[in-house]
Amino acid sequence: MRIRCIIAMIVLALLYSAVLSAGTSILPPPNLNKAQRLIFFKDHLKGVPKGSRIDYDFTNATQGEEGFSDRIEIDVVNVVADGKRDLEFHFLSGENHIDFSPVKAYTGNPVIIHFLERDISMMAKDTGGSNGFFRNRIRDSFKNPNLVREIKFHYGGKELAGTEVIVTPFAAVPNTDNFKLYVNKRYEFIFSDQVPGGIYRIHTQVPNEKGGGILIDEDMTFRKITPAI
């Protein structure tokens, strides 16, 4: 699965209009809550030098289907004025690969948008619904997140501090007959300034409302940065 250059840029713009400011000097609106600032306006890559590669592990587990494990990589090609970065991406491999185009003078970590755009595309394909519907619901869910809290987690044998954000974008949507599968889908984000790239984990779960357990579980977790910093 490949998304060509111009399509990818349009998709990112539509996913979160606020993200357009990530590559500019536009300041965030003053009324954003903590979850929105963490997602849209955080300088996640602060301190990550030119030549670095950030690796994430990605896993998919789906009841009744063969799951898979893969990698997501972000290459910091250059650090330009005001700490912005030129970035290149390798997002999954083989039949799961998505060709996200390089970005110039970017502030923030695009892996958030990339993860969510793949997620949106899969839901739209499964339901025959609109990408725009799922995109808007996820964006709006950060206005009233289910949970925002400070947490501790372990990485590399150390206890680190982070912020957990949980949203269920489709739980309160009327007329859900066309996408009942995703009504109770849960998204968990863990942000931390102690992890290079600012994002430790993005985790989604779709409960199996009929048979119990988890129907679809997808997880992206920070693996390492090379060279190490």
Pick the closest to residue 44 from 114, 133, 123 (CA basis): 114
Taking 60 as the threshold, does the pLDDT of residue 10 lie above it?
Answer: no
Taking 70 as the threshold, does the pLDDT of residue 9 lie above it?
Answer: no
If you average pLDDT over every residue of the chain, what do you get?
Answer: 88
What domains are there in the chain, each with its CATH number?
5-226 (2.50.20)
For the entire predicted model, the pTM comes to 0.87
- Write the pLDDT tens digit of every residue in 116-147: 999 999 999 999 989 999 999 999 999 999 99
- Confidence class for position 1, pLDDT limits 50, 70, 90: very low
Taking 70 as the threshold, does the pLDDT of residue 13 lie above it?
Answer: no
What are the residues facing 73 on neighbouring strands?
55, 90
